[in-house]
Amino acid sequence: MRIRILDGPKRDRFVRALEQRGANDLAEIEPAVRRIVNNVRRDGDRALRRYAERWDGLGKTEPARVPEAELQEAWKQTAPELRDAIAQSAANIRRYCEWQKPEEWRREIQPGVCVGQLVRPLESVGCYVPGGRYPLPSTLLMTVIPAQVAGVPQIRVASPHPAQATLAAAAFLGVREFYRVGGAQAIAAYAYGTKSVPRVNKIVGPGNRYVTAAKKLVAFDCGIEFLAGPTEAVFISETGDPVLIACDLIAQAEHDPDALCLMITNSRQLAKGVQAEAQWRAQVNSIAAESLARRGAILLVESLEAAIEIANRIAAEHLTLPAALAQKVRNAGSIFLNEFTPQSAGDYISGPNHVLPTGAMARVRGGLSVLDFVRVISCQKISREGIRRIAPPAIALAEAEGLRGHTESLRVRCSNA
């Protein structure tokens, strides 16, 4: 494994290619995923169980829904130090979500015209928690807690091969509906409903390519947050500790062989130091070694300002940089400031969500938040005085558009006010 150091034309070509990337190339698997989704939509539980028994480890006589007693037993069997970690992580995530929650308000925009907004939770959400290469109880916390803070009454969790830690986290949060299913079949069940898995208003949470493709296919029938691809991490530094930066590169690279992990620096000495450390440390982490060899790179630039400009063009999921540069960041899923803020802290414990946009979608939105689980509904109230004030300009606009019914609905009220 050799992580590349790029500068000049090679660097520029590399960055231009990254600007054009998408979240995932799904064309190859979409036909197979479409068959799975259509089968579950048509045949319900019969298809869902067939796929879950084949791929998710569901026993032939085992219910898809995990009994609440099993969830509670998982919590009891969890080591005290892990229970404490789950509790602390949940507390930080919940507090951050409370700060995010939008407020209702009403104000008089002009005399007699009162406007405002109402905030209402979604009725139901389906949280997807991956259960493949690594169990991810942290993702359960990151998806369920913002829904709880938003006030969503029906929160369902689906996860294939759920680990004890994932079941324990669900028990701690009071999750009542946990389904031992995964993949495209779980997404289809969420979107269209089966006898055992009721449909939901919105699906959230990361997954593999099959999960992502299924979310794409059902997106017109069921809400989703975004399509997530492999992990992305960018680090900007000119005087950092090579050991700390290399460890952070390895930490994100081990998520997936297709992870994108970059360092941008104006110091060739630091670049070589990080290169050597990362290559040495990746020897004992085969996934990270493959990821860094395939998509890892260290980009040499003329200045930190140039580094920021490249980072904004790339619009990565995670971005670590000096705090003094934070105000210059335009595009990133989540930012981490200074060397004692590892991206791993955001993955687990600090509070902000780790379900983040990839594939340059950080140009248009941030990570999962309470806002993904509520509807912000506009409202307005107009008095007699108010309609006399605003009807004439509204009538002028309606007439300009040729909408006579609109004109009359305004004129008749103005006449009677």
The residues assigned a catalytic role are 317-318
SS (H, E, C) the chain: CCCEEECHHHHHHHHHHHHCCCCCCCCCCHHHHHHHHHHHHHHCHHHHHHHHHHHCCCCCCCCCECCHHHHHHHHHHCCHHHHHHHHHHHHHHHHHHHHHCCCCEEEEEECCEEEEEEEEECCEEEEECCCCCCCCHHHHHHHHHHHHHHCCCEEEEECCCCCHHHHHHHHHHCCCEEECCCHHHHHHHHHHCCCCCCCCCEEECCCCHHHHHHHHHHCCCCEECCCCCCCEEEEECCCCCHHHHHHHHHHHHCCCCCCEEEEEECCHHHHHHHHHHHHHHHHHCHHHHHHHHHHCEEEECCCHHHHHHHHHHHCCCEEEECHHHHHHCCCCCEEEECCCCCHHHHHHCCCCCCCCCCCCHHHCCCCCCHHHHEEEEEEEEECHHHHHHHHHHHHHHHHHHCCHHHHHHHHHHHHHC
